């Protein structure tokens, strides 16, 4: 009887052991988390693209809790340099890549934007010709009265070197940066917007999307037409606005892993609402787009 009890105990113990072993081999209910995205991305560059990228990063992080994305500004030139030198996983550039750049970097266009002229809402000037804008920026016109405004000196706000907004502004108006007589030199769009909002005699040029975003929130600035065309997301979208550009994310090599996943998200329909919230235009919405 004793032997039978001993055998039964051994059998029971063996059964429990096998059962526990089986449980340990059963995949946990959150096994998929082992395959979830994780890691950190560093994104640097254009101040125009940065607010949009930050919003994309927040949503991407919310959907992937083990991912962190650090977004830093510094201008398109920084985005290009950092991506090229491996200092950032992704660079932000507020224009299309040039031919030479495209040979060394991979570009991923995520949206469209325009560059608009802004003045204070108290400024009575509603429109100027391209020639008048050139004359203001090269110092030939120094008083608002010469273009139908008040008798007041014009405070010219220019962009710092290394900014795509500056580069495209100069190209469109056929100016050299050395020709510009600037009273203030700013870096990002927010600096330009704050400068004009705080000075009724100032003029600047910034991202249309950024300007519209702030105007909707009551900031006292207004956009002037360029080339006789109203500066708005609508005219950028329909292709009639003459000073528009691509918003581009760039990488050194063909992206893989986490970088690839984030770029695919940035170009997906899932990101379109975020793009519109920033007053930019998703690519599919651009008529005759790239």
Residues of the chain with pLDDT > 90, as a percent, come to: 81
Helix (H) or strand (E) holding 12, with range, is: helix 2-25
* β-strands 221-224, 184-186 pairing: unpaired
Determine the pLDDT at residue 71. Answer: 98
Domains assigned to the chain: 39-112+246-285 (3.40.190.10), 114-237 (3.40.190.10)
Residue 265 to residue 18: CA distance in whole angstroms? 45
pLDDT digit string (tens) for 128-172?
Answer: 999 999 999 999 999 999 999 999 999 999 999 888 899 999 999
Structure tokens at 28: 């946990």
Partners of residue 41 on adjacent β-strands: 69
């Amino acid at each position: 009887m004793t032997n039978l009890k001993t055998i039964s105990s051994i059998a029971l113990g063996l059964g429990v052991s096998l059962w526990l072993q089986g449980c340990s081999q059963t995949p946990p209910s959150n096994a998929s988390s082992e395959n979830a995205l994780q890691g950190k991305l560093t994104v640097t560059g254009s101040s125009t693209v940065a607010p949009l990228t930050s919003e994309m990063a927040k949503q991407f992080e919310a959907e992937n809790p083990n991912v962190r994305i650090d977004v830093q500004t510094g201008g398109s030139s920084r985005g290009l340099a950092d991506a090229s030198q491996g200092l950032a996983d992704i660079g932000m550039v507020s224009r299309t890549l040039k031919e030479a750049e495209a040979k060394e970097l991979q570009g991923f266009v995520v949206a469209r934007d325009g560059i608009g002229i802004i003045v204070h809402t108290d400024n009575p000037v509603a429109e100027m010709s391209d020639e008048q804008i050139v004359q203001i920026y090269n110092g030939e016109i120094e008083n608002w009265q010469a273009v139908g405004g008040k008798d007041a000196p014009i405070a010219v706000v220019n962009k710092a070197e290394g900014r795509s907004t500056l580069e495209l502004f100069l190209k469109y108006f056929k100016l050299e940066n050395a020709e510009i007589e600037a009273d203030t030199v700013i870096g990002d769009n927010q600096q330009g917007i704050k400068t004009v909002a705080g000075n009724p005699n100032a003029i600047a040029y910034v991202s249309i999307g950024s300007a519209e975003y702030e105007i909707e929130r009551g900031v006292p600035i207004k956009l002037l037409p360029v080339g006789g065309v109203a500066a708005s997301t609508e005219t950028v979208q329909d292709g009639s606005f003459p000073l528009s550009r691509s918003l581009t994310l760039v990488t050194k090599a063909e992206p893989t892993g986490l970088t690839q996943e984030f770029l695919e998200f940035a170009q997906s329909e899932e990101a379109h609402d975020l793009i519109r919230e920033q007053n930019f235009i998703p690519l599919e919405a651009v008529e005759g787009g790239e």
